Structure 1
Amino acid sequence: MTNPLLADWDTPFKLAPFDTISDDDFAPAFEGALAAHKVEIAAIADHAEAPSFANTIEALESAGAALDKVLSVFFSVAGAESNPAREMLQRDFSPKLAAHSAEISANKALFARIKTLWEARESLALNAEQQRVLMLTHRGFLRGGAALEGDADARMKEIKGRLAVLGTEFTQNLLADERDWFMPLAEEDLEGLPGFAVDAARAAGAEKGAEGPVVTLSRSIIVPFLQFSPRRGLREKALAAWAARGANGGETDNREIAAEILALREERAKLLGYGSFADYKLETEMAKTPEAVRSLLMEVWAPAKAQAEADAAVLTEMMHADGVNGDLAPWDWRYYAEKRRKAEHDLDEAALKPYLQLERMIAASFACATKLFGLEFKELDVPLYHEDCQAWEVTRGGEHVAVFIGDYFARGGKRSGAWCSAMRGQAKFPEVQGPVVINVCNFAKGEPALLSYDDARTLFHEFGHALHQMLSNVTYESISGTSVARDFVELPSQLYEHWLEVPEVLAEYAIHAETGAPMPQEMLEKVLGAANFDQGFATVEYVASALVDLAFHEGAAPRDPMAKQAEVLAELGMPAAITMRHATPHFAHVFAGDGYSSGYYSYMWSEVMDADAFEAFEEVGDAFDPKTAKALEQHILSTGGSVEADALYTRFRGRLPGVEALLKGRGLAAG
């Protein structure tokens, strides 16, 4: 029988036939597709005719279609619905993929053809997009080590292979720690917890096979517990487990893995002639240099720290008034911040949450896309990899645009966090293909599922990434959608969060789960008024993580990353009651792969732009202004990586922004 992963998919929109795919299909499909791609690469490199854009660059663009198909399915399920078989396959596939990529980068005959085209580029009569693809291909091969010879060439292959193994181990260790830990709660331990948190704890207990409710390390469960539980000892125990992920000793400890990853990255950069890994990594980003990144982060750090210290003093007084002596601790902050929010803004998370039903927030995110870009969403009945998943066809003017898949609920086999990926990217070459885009989140289940305001922002954030994929309109898949500079990729996602705060959106879609009543105007005003609440805390925990990431990669790799982390935090004067958002042993952004390594700052770099970009709508007095929305799609969302990011933003806004809009948006501006 034909392996379903390698067959032609005669399914609606050529979606993966998940109902016919088993774990046993992945390995033979992978090996077969990998072998086929090697044959395709050899044919391009050894082509008898002189190199042309068509027989070299376009041939590379269309090669590997079978491998892409297999891997898009595998990595989607491996991240969102892991099991021991898939974890074993991931450990097997990762080094093989790294070796395959290294072989392509080191193929001297192939690079010679690309180099010939690059040197003759002025005479090739290429259009702007083709010129861009040629430049990126040439640059990618150079940065991949194509010009290295001898021992350096061989060592680069070894480094890439080892980094792939280590990244997979880091991810799986973190998942194991998150999956295996839970804290049983006695009935009296539920005191102070709102109904939604109790329901989530009971559901988590049922999933874990426990006799009663539990706290797990799912953010959607542990954060409400830290916010509402008056039991300080249990808060301390829960936060300690959250902070210790990847640092518990034994087989799942990530500290030595992190040290080896940093050393290998430094060696890789120096083989390519760069002073540091940060120099190498940032060369292709908007920031360009470590100095530019540090300048931005420190410009935000000072006002954020000042605000956090002022807030800490208030929270400490509240804690002392409760009869708890001593210093405010990290496991106290969220509890007293929630009390303060209720007191100062009369905004109670427990009262707010029934208005933020998951299904209503999904509908709100779709409705905003309809108003802004004319997109329509129709639910599909198709097989998917888990019963929790939902799928929609996305159309515009009756024409197919994309398929969107949402996988929203936390479960044991899903890695933590939230992300967007394309199971198939948009392209017009070698044939027209619409994207298949997936958003994965970790919200607590419930009947109905209720979100915190941060959860709702996360939903809008990931859907902003999805729009970047769905509205892409380029020829070549290698530059479609989110294939842009890392410090630009968060602009569409962070910008889309702003529409959640548009009063008319909340007024229409924030409907009480039990009564069906719309959110009262008074509560709506409180929600919007409290938007900047506790931004000192949020900004400090984020910027500290970004500065530690930068310090890891700026100079010589630290032999002891934990000591380096402590050194950086001490130099910053990190407030004692706040921890890094992502400490080193569970800093998956940085160590699960190269994606955000030396690049965690990019959320803030993008936020500088998103704060300024939304002002374009505010300046015309309409969050759904058609002309501004059209410009946003034309210059940002549809262009992928076909043009340099700073040029795209300047086309949209007429200039590049400063940090002022960000500080204003976070309530950290002076005065």
Structure 2
Amino acid sequence: MTDANPLLAPSALPYGLPDYSLIEPGHYLPAFEAAFQEHTREVSAITRVRSMPTFENTMVPLEASGRLLGDVARTFYTVSSADATDAIQEIDEALAPLMAAHTDAIQLDAELYRRIKTLHDRLDELALEPEQRYLVERHFREMTQAGAGLDAEAKARLTELNQRLSSLTTTFEKNLLADTNDLAVVFDDAAELDGLTESELSAAVQNAVDRGLEGKHVVTLTLFTGHPYLASLTNRESRRRILEASRSRGARGNENDNRDVLREIVRLRAERAELLGFATHAEYVTSDETAGSPEAVHDLLRRLAAPAATNASREQAALQEIVDAEPEPFPLEAHDWAFYTEKVRQARFDLDRTALRPWFEAERVLQDGVFRAATELYGITFAERPDLRAYHPDVRVFELHNADGSALGLFLLDLYTRDTKRGGAWMNSIVSQSRLRGTKPIVVNNLNVPKPAPGRPTLLTLDDVTTLFHEFGHALHGLFATVTYPHFAGTAVFRDFVEFPSQVNEMWIYWPAILAGYAKHVETGEPLPAEVIDKLLASETFNQGFATSEYLAASWIDQAWHSLTAEQAGADIDVAGFEASALADIGLDNPVVPTRYSSTYFAHVFSGGYSAGYYSYIWSEVLDADTVEWFRENGGLTRANGERFRDRLLGVGGSKDPLEAYRDFRGRDADIRPLLERRGLA
């Protein structure tokens, strides 16, 4: 089987990059089966040891175990999220309950738990290094949280719940991808897309050609509610059609309807939480995050919601003034917001953000912006490896080296949208770093930028630029984490801390030395004019009422669903009515400011890892804003600052309590004031 299946033999490519040219869909499930069996044997060898548990005979072999499974899983899930063909989706559906069952078999193993508990009870007697001590603490906490201390009957029910939930979340994502593709908006006439740039029209033409609709234009949907084109489309009906399509995903009564799926997910999560001794899923999740409790999360969200809603109302009034001055005024609606926001921005700041795309050519932003900032801060260098093939022809591979010339790892960039890729943007690892295993990291960044026709440049929006810097912040976290044990590798930190490094990396977008390098006109090479930069900086808090409100609304919907008890989470809940009630409760029920995600397409929560945790972005932004202030106070883009941030925060991965690591870096706890000022909420 090893000879026939490339997934079951070590890759011969640099850094262990999987040789995707040899891997066929039919290889995955047999490889998973073999990996499950191997991992089970490895854990059984630990639990059969009759001698007293020690760190060396329990924790070290546990960390060494499961390597094949991890390799196969990361190889597959990279593809299933970024190139989910029909064959891959079928495998994903079949695999979901199998993976859940295997994970439970390990996490709920009574003898393994007994050994780890014994070590945990004797921690103060053991002469362990800090990373070793924290490893015991985390494994004990996570196994306890997973239910390892339950009796046999409760464990059996827990396993049933986990398997069913894994199938449901896979179904949710499959439905969302299908409905997003089905709802791509077809336009017969280019005049309906007046306001789009030549590059954007080219992408719409190419989308139509790819669907066999020559002569038409197709606008594909983004993961979130809004769409970048809403800011520039002059045709109000076109804007309405795009937003209506976006908001209807997963709730049309067809085979892709997600309402029953999400209701069952909520109900089963609540039952599982109760089985594990928690009142709600939100309590279960936050108990092992830096927040500590749902009450702490709710306190922050409510504290921010009122001023955000007030600011959004002021912004709405300013937009309505612009509309009222037109020959045929009308009441502002949600699909008008972005378009008239740009008009107000032009009137107030003499700034048209939609006209800036020629200054943000993708390759220059990548090389002279994202990569250069990393080189200036950390001394790392980048060399493209066209000889290395990834999982799709669009994916580019770069080899990275440290300032001293030592190898750091590989970075893969998958920039463009396609029908087989899920929406949004993300970072994931294909190989994680570990001294124990002798591995170096391979990380991937995925975006969903429309691909122009052949020969045309890829021009980014300012939001795209922000996303590119943000996701590369995750990549740096995954690349720089230097740990002994795989459990702490890369971005394996608390969910409400993981967004912090990526948010910090956004600060270099406007840093003068970096901006001057990448913001050059695609045709003339002229830099972005200084007066435009000044206007961008002056307008940073503009529209923050809307941006903060739409984000907080989604965070509150997530909390509302997952604050239901098992008794409350009935199958008859009206999804739209539940959302409306939740938004009214926190004062974010303005119909002109829709939530960033509605439940039926809220992939972060119902098919990703952010259930009861979407608050994480604003929670970690408190740390981010405080860190940005530190960089500015200490000279900004310097190697000394970069090395401190790398050594004390990025480099520790998950091997240290994140707030302790932050205090080590900053010298104190984070202050919320910089965040309030940034978002205009002070």
Q: TM-score range by the shorter chain?
A: over 0.9
Identity %: 39
Instruction: Give the 3 Å change call, closer, same or farther, for CA 28–517 of structure 1 in structure 2.
Output: same
Aligned residue type for 1:131:
R
Q: Which residue of 2 aligns with 1:386?
A: 392
Q: Which residue of 2 aligns with 1:432?
A: 438
Q: Aligned match of 1:233 in 237, 249, 252?
A: 237
Instruction: Give the 3 Å change call, closer, same or farther, for CA 533–202 of structure 1 in structure 2.
Output: farther
C-alpha deviation, 1:576, in angstroms: 2.0
The answer as to 2:580 corresponding to 1:577 is no
The answer as to 2:261 corresponding to 1:257 is yes
How is 1:467-478 mapped onto 2 (pairs within 5 angstroms)?
A: 467-478=476-487
C-alpha deviation, 1:563, in angstroms: 2.5
Q: Which residue of 1 aligns with 2:450?
A: 444
Aligned partners of 2:277, 2:670: CA distance in 1, in Å? 32
Q: Report if the CA contact (8 A) 2:15-2:439 is conserved.
A: no
Aligned partners of 1:93, 1:566: CA distance in 2, in Å? 36
Q: Aligned match of 1:281 in 259, 278, 285?
A: 285
| Aligned-partner SS, 1:516 | coil
Q: Aligned match of 1:366 in 371, 379, 387?
A: 371
Q: Which residue of 1 aligns with 2:353?
A: 349
How is 1:536-551 mapped onto 2 (pairs within 5 angstroms)?
A: 536-551=545-560
Q: Which residue of 2 aligns with 1:416?
A: 423
C-alpha deviation, 1:522, in angstroms: 1.7
Q: Which residue of 1 aligns with 2:210?
A: 207
Instruction: Give the 3 Å change call, closer, same or farther, for CA 115–572 of structure 1 in structure 2.
Output: closer
How is 1:299-310 mapped onto 2 (pairs within 5 angstroms)?
A: 299-310=303-314
How is 1:609-620 mapped onto 2 (pairs within 5 angstroms)?
A: 609-620=623-634
Instruction: Encode CA deviations 1:101-125: one digit per residue, 9 max, x unaligned.
Output: 1111222122111112212222221
Q: Aligned match of 2:380 in 372, 375, 380?
A: 375
Q: Aligned match of 1:156 in 155, 158, 165?
A: 158
Q: Report if the CA contact (8 A) 1:215-1:222 is conserved.
A: no
Aligned partners of 1:152, 1:104: CA distance in 2, in Å? 16
Q: Aligned match of 2:621 in 600, 607, 619?
A: 607
Aligned residue type for 1:422:
S
Q: Which residue of 2 aligns with 1:489?
A: 498
| Aligned-partner SS, 1:250 | coil
Aligned partners of 1:469, 1:513: CA distance in 2, in Å? 32
Q: Report if the CA contact (8 A) 2:186-2:219 is conserved.
A: yes
Q: Report if the CA contact (8 A) 2:379-2:639 is conserved.
A: no
How is 1:302-341 mapped onto 2 (pairs within 5 angstroms)?
A: 302-341=306-345
> Which sits farther off after the overlay, 213-222 or 226-235?
213-222
| Aligned-partner SS, 1:461 | helix
Aligned partners of 2:79, 2:69: CA distance in 1, in Å? 16
Q: Which residue of 2 aligns with 1:218?
A: 222
Aligned partners of 1:239, 1:507: CA distance in 2, in Å? 35
Aligned partners of 2:406, 2:640: CA distance in 1, in Å? 22
Aligned partners of 1:169, 1:366: CA distance in 2, in Å? 37
| Aligned-partner SS, 2:400 | strand
The answer as to 2:593 corresponding to 1:587 is no
Q: Report if the CA contact (8 A) 2:397-2:411 is conserved.
A: yes
C-alpha deviation, 1:517, in angstroms: 1.5
Q: Which residue of 2 aligns with 1:297?
A: 301
C-alpha deviation, 1:625, in angstroms: 3.1
How is 1:615-630 mapped onto 2 (pairs within 5 angstroms)?
A: 615-620=629-634, 622-630=635-643
Aligned partners of 1:509, 1:119: CA distance in 2, in Å? 55
Aligned partners of 2:164, 2:326: CA distance in 1, in Å? 52
Alignment root-mean-square deviation, CA: 1.6
> Which sits farther off after the overlay, 65-74 or 163-172?
65-74
Aligned residue type for 1:602:
S
Q: Report if the CA contact (8 A) 2:239-2:335 is conserved.
A: yes
The answer as to 2:470 corresponding to 1:461 is yes
Aligned residue type for 1:616:
W
Aligned partners of 1:80, 1:339: CA distance in 2, in Å? 36
Q: Which residue of 2 aligns with 1:5?
A: 7
Q: Which residue of 1 aligns with 2:676?
A: 663
Q: Report if the CA contact (8 A) 1:53-1:117 is conserved.
A: yes
Q: Which residue of 2 aligns with 1:188?
A: 191
C-alpha deviation, 1:562, in angstroms: 3.3
Q: Report if the CA contact (8 A) 1:220-1:444 is conserved.
A: no
Instruction: Give the 3 Å change call, closer, same or farther, for CA 222–299 of structure 1 in structure 2.
Output: closer
Aligned partners of 1:98, 1:10: CA distance in 2, in Å? 30
Aligned partners of 1:555, 1:26: CA distance in 2, in Å? 37
> Which sits farther off after the overlay, 86-95 or 217-226?
217-226
Aligned partners of 2:5, 2:465: CA distance in 1, in Å? 40
| Aligned-partner SS, 2:523 | coil
Q: Report if the CA contact (8 A) 1:617-1:625 is conserved.
A: no
| Aligned-partner SS, 2:412 | strand
C-alpha deviation, 1:306, in angstroms: 0.9
C-alpha deviation, 1:61, in angstroms: 0.9
Give the TM-score of the pair, scaled to structure 1.
0.97
Q: Which residue of 1 aligns with 2:536?
A: 527
Q: Report if the CA contact (8 A) 2:492-2:654 is conserved.
A: yes
Aligned residue type for 2:211:
K
C-alpha deviation, 1:325, in angstroms: 4.2
Aligned partners of 1:368, 1:160: CA distance in 2, in Å? 42
Aligned residue type for 1:370:
T
Aligned residue type for 1:188:
A
Q: Report if the CA contact (8 A) 2:274-2:280 is conserved.
A: yes
Q: Report if the CA contact (8 A) 2:225-2:598 is conserved.
A: no
Instruction: Give the 3 Å change call, closer, same or farther, for CA 471–4 of structure 1 in structure 2.
Output: same
Give the TM-score of the pair, scaled to structure 2.
0.95
Aligned residue type for 2:599:
T
Aligned partners of 1:351, 1:182: CA distance in 2, in Å? 24
Aligned partners of 1:152, 1:647: CA distance in 2, in Å? 35
C-alpha deviation, 1:222, in angstroms: 7.1
Instruction: Give the 3 Å change call, closer, same or farther, for CA 200–349 of structure 1 in structure 2.
Output: farther
| Aligned-partner SS, 1:394 | strand
> Which sits farther off after the overlay, 72-81 or 233-242?
233-242
> Which sits farther off after the overlay, 571-580 or 319-328?
319-328
Q: Report if the CA contact (8 A) 2:17-2:431 is conserved.
A: no
Q: Aligned match of 1:400 in 382, 401, 407?
A: 407
Aligned partners of 1:505, 1:221: CA distance in 2, in Å? 31
Aligned partners of 2:477, 2:327: CA distance in 1, in Å? 51
Tell me the matched-pair count: 666
C-alpha deviation, 1:342, in angstroms: 2.3
C-alpha deviation, 1:276, in angstroms: 1.6
Instruction: Encode CA deviations 1:250-288: one digit per residue, 9 max, x unaligned.
Output: 221111111111111111111111122111111111111
C-alpha deviation, 1:77, in angstroms: 0.7
Aligned partners of 2:555, 2:354: CA distance in 1, in Å? 32
Aligned partners of 2:674, 2:299: CA distance in 1, in Å? 16
C-alpha deviation, 1:210, in angstroms: 1.4
Q: Aligned match of 1:169 in 168, 171, 179?
A: 171
Aligned partners of 2:274, 2:653: CA distance in 1, in Å? 30
Q: Report if the CA contact (8 A) 2:490-2:654 is conserved.
A: yes
Gaps of 5+ in 2: none
Instruction: Encode CA deviations 1:83-105: one digit per residue, 9 max, x unaligned.
Output: 11000000011100001111112
> Which sits farther off after the overlay, 660-669 or 238-247?
660-669
Q: Which residue of 1 aligns with 2:117?
A: 115
